[in-house]
Amino acid sequence: MKKILAIHTGGTISMSQNAQGDVVPNAKNPIAQEATILAGRVHLVTDEMFNLPSPHVTPVEMLKIQQRILRAEADGIDGVVITHGTDTLEETAYFLDLTLPNTIPVVVTGAMRSSNEIGSDGMYNFQSAIEVAADDASQGNGVMVVMNDEIHSARYVTKTHTTNVATFRTPTFGPIGIVAKDHAVYFQKLIRQATCQIDHVIDHVYLIKAYAGMDGSLFEFLDNDATAGVVIEGLGAGNLPPRTLPAIQQLLDRQIPLVLVSRCYNGVAEDIYDYDGGGIQLRKMGLMLCQGLNGQKARIKLLVGLSAGLTGDELKDFLRTAVS
């Protein structure tokens, strides 16, 4: 019988509607009380680490989850399931994907409907996540996100709808598998990436989204000694309005790492255009293109790399693509 650790961190999956119909946190997580789920097939160990709405989760909490998983691995656990609010679920999942050694299955799940709503998806997603974590076929797939009968790589999955239960999607590549009855079925092989061992997380790593008519004002606000790094969601394949360039150059002169991704839903950032503010010029200035990640994921990757002490070419190689 597989021994699975369930780490509960809060979010909609742990909440209920009150008399006014507002979704609020419970004093006790109703999902965490279900210790007998899949009894006879799985031995479930429960750890109620937090009870936080996911906008309250920071990289500090992400690191605590990672450290708890490492302790569980040392104690012989066979797999891990984390319940989490959906707003920042993809960031926590990717943080773990970058910082865990990929020796046991780790699955993150959540819910779009609270526990007492009609059609609540929390218990179903939780059970599916446990089944995936306990499946031998899940070994070596990195951290996964299981929602709505689909298995996604933490590296690429993103929340695409504010309320729909089918909100989690993987643009460009699609899910790596599905949950079929009581087991995982995989259709894609994950390309593995290198991980970083970290024991702390730094602060002041920022994310800025480009827009038509943008000037350098936002970058000027970040021109200070506290700024550790900046990720920019550029236009199209990775371009910026020319009025941003002087302020960006000032950040580069400070040796602040700047990472460029695309704000587009599909595709990757590439240095295609050779005009003022085009991707070719930005690369020559010193911006690092990160392919295959959205802005929030690229920020997590930059934060992890900087927390690991990577600089110069090491950091550039780490950030260059989604895989190593």
CB contact at 8 A, 303 and 296: no
Closest CA to 232 of 151, 294, 278, 163: 294
Token couple for 210: 């480009």
Phi-psi region of 145 (alpha: psi -120 to 50; beta: other; left: phi over 0): beta
How far are the Cα atoms of 17, 229, 234 from residue 223, in angstroms, in the given order?
Answer: 44, 11, 19
Residues in the chain: 324
Looking from the CA of 39 toward its CB, the CA atoms found within 13 Å total: 4
Q: Which of 9, 12, 86, 109 is catalytic?
A: 12
User: Alpha helices, DSSP H only, in 141-294?
Assistant: 217-221, 245-253, 279-285
User: Active site includes 58?
Assistant: no
Closest CA to 41 of 108, 105, 130: 130
CB contact at 8 A, 153 and 190: yes
d(CA 315, CA 277): 23
Amino acid letter for position 281? Q
DSSP calls for 134-192: T-GGGTTS-EEEEETTEEEETTT-EE--SS-TT-EE-TTT--SEEEETTEEEE-SPPPP
Q: What DSSP state is assigned to residue 20?
A: T
CB contact at 8 A, 249 and 220: no
Token couple for 160: 């695409």
| Residues labelled catalytic | 12
